[in-house]
Structure 1
Amino acid sequence: MSDSQCIVCIQSEPIELSEWQRHLSDPDSGAQAWFLGCTRRTTISKAGTVHRTRTLSYQAYTPMARRELESLAEAARERFSLSRLIIVHRLGEVPIGQASVLIACSSAHRPDAFAALPWIMDRLKRDVPIWKQEWFEDDSRQWIHPTEPDPG
């Protein structure tokens, strides 16, 4: 989906905010909200063990993931009266400090824009077939299934 009001993108390149800012501007919107999910250095397992992350890696069945993101975007725009929406997810290796996901939206008023971000992110993690593998400094690794909550 890539009309002027809604953009869904799956890419292997780093996510650059400056590339997306112009797409969110709307003269009838008083609010813009942004969420950037980045690879953090420390992960705590469900058992409480602290792991030092080296990198994350994302894989997807891209055609299905894109369809699910488009469906999610349509539902979010309707539910929160969003005038513009951007969802970008990165595939491949995402080193510490770099972004793996960007969600940005605009709406007439801030409550809708603020409420949309966690709703979209929760459903993206639950419903979109993108799989995350964490690589740790001790050379261990683990897959995170889309329906599991993030242990961090």
Structure 2
Amino acid sequence: MDKGKKDIFVEGAIAPVFIADRIAKHASKNGIGAHSIFLGQVRADKVGDKTVSSIEYSCYGDLANVKMAEIRESIFDRYHLTCMHVYHSLGTVHVGEICLFVFASSAHRSAAISACEEVVDRLKKELPIWGKELFEDESHQWKVNTNRNQPQ
């Protein structure tokens, strides 16, 4: 298990071929019985009379990577995982594109699913990552993450 510090950031949208390649690399790992994958996609949210066309992500990279390493360590302590990968976009990501890819693998599905969900929740709360919503009319505002318990 590699639980060390890694740079989780990729420039721009996370391409489907990148995701497929990461999944394919696990085919030879015969102790894995389950994968849980979360893909965060930019939505065309309506804010008043404006529509989001993209989000521009920025971060405090060194701190975010240190914090993500701490989260990884605690996740590996809680769940019996084979591996876990996290990638988050920086820069501009357009509506319909992937901005977050979390991939947890384990011998059994419950550990992979629970770990994946916890990682997503924690990184949204704990990592210094900011998103500026860019609207179709070329105006912008800082994105506010909504409470996951709110109705959708």
TM-score past 0.5 threshold: yes
Give the aligned CA root-mean-square deviation in angstroms.
Answer: 2.7
Distance 1:4 1:64 in 2: 17
Deviation at 1:18, TM superposition (A): 2.2
Deviation at 1:86, TM superposition (A): 0.2
Deviation at 1:64, TM superposition (A): 0.8
Please tell me whether residue 119 in structure 1 is matched to residue 122 in structure 2: no
**2:41 alignment counterpart:** 38
Distance 2:45 2:33 in 1: 36
Structure 1 residue ranges (4+ consecutive) displaced by more than 6 angstroms after TM superposition: none
Query: In percent, how many aligned pairs have the same letter?
Result: 27
Q: How many residues align?
A: 146
- Sort the Cα spacing of 1:4 and 1:19 in 2 relative to 1 into closer, same or farther, 3 A: farther
**1:89 alignment counterpart:** 88
Please tell me whether residue 20 in structure 1 is matched to residue 22 in structure 2: yes
Gap regions ≥5 residues in structure 1: none
Paired residues for 1:98-117 under 5 Å = 98-117=97-116
Is 2:51–2:136's contact at 8 Å kept on the other side of the alignment? yes
**2:141 alignment counterpart:** 142
Distance 1:29 1:6 in 2: 22
Distance 1:117 1:13 in 2: 22
TM-score by length of 2: 0.82
Distance 2:142 2:134 in 1: 9
Distance 1:35 1:7 in 2: 19
Distance 1:5 1:38 in 2: 27
Is 1:6–1:86's contact at 8 Å kept on the other side of the alignment? no
Gap regions ≥5 residues in structure 2: none
**2:10 alignment counterpart:** 11
